[in-house]
Amino acid sequence: QKEVEQNSGPLSVPEGAIASLNCTYSDRGSQSFFWYRQYSGKSPELIMFIYSNGDKEDGRFTAQLNKASQYVSLLIRDSQPSDSATYLCAVTATTDSWGKLQFGAGTQVVVTP
Amino acid sequence: EAGVVQSPRYKIIEKKQPVAFWCNPISGHNTLYWYRQNLGQGPELLIRYENEEAVDDSQLPKDRFSAERLKGVDSTLKIQPAELGDSAVYLCASSPFSYEQYFGPGTRLTVT
């Protein structure tokens, strides 16, 4: 079982709609959760992080965390063609040294005009 | 603020040859990471430095990979000898504290 799992996609989203991305993790002791955006041929770019249960909003992005269900999600409101990218979920691994991130394989999002 | 700098951006070598990658982190970031990313996968940590000290190198293939971070700033990752399976993107990241990591542009390595 992979430690961080994401649907690979592609997730096709009409322009202006909400994109919903999901991530589950296996390490119950994980404390910090990150979403990175990666354009094709580029490096990952940090867009959101969340440490506490509940929702965290930043512009058009909302991260949702449910530690009991070991589930973190990312919502992208009013999706734009520029949001087309692969979104990587990353989780801290509490059994390892401080700061080690476990990444999922990513979900590809395609926003269609 | 300048980002993480890496060089070279692309490298093509024949198997069994050596190769080295260089990284300059964001100024003031004490923590530096080297990751490897294979196509269609997320980055995988190779080694993490806190200043000059390698605090996590458990996933670094030490028979052929080595790394150093002299003076706690720039870092070099070396592979000798390279194998076909080493073809990947090598990413350097830095952070001011341990969790929020910022990535450089990466080096795309092709081993033929």
Q: What is the pLDDT of residues A83-111, one digit of tens each?
A: 999 999 999 876 555 567 899 999 999 99
> Could B48 and A100 be called an inter-chain contact, meaning their C-beta atoms sit closer than 8 Å?
yes
Residue A84 Cα, gap to closest chain B Cα (Å): 16
Strand ranges for chain A from DSSP E: 4-5, 11-14, 19-25, 33-38, 45-50, 54-58, 61-66, 71-76, 85-92, 101-103, 107-112
Residue B106 near chain A (CB below 8 Å):
yes
Rounded Cα distance, B9 and B54, in Å? 24
Assigned token pair, A109: 């999002």
Whether the CB-CB separation of B89 and B107 falls below 8 Å is answered with: yes
- Residues of A whose CB is below 8 A from B89: 43
* Cross-chain CB nearest to A98 (options B44, B45, B98): B98
> pLDDT for A16-47, tens place per residue?
999 999 999 998 888 889 999 999 999 999 99
CB A19 within 8 A of CB A76: yes
Task: Count Cβ atoms below 10 Å from residue A78 Cβ, excluding itself.
Answer: 12
Contact state of A99 with B103 under an 8 Å Cβ cutoff: no
Of the candidate ranges B47-56, B57-66, B73-82, B94-103, the one whose mean pLDDT is the lowest = B94-103
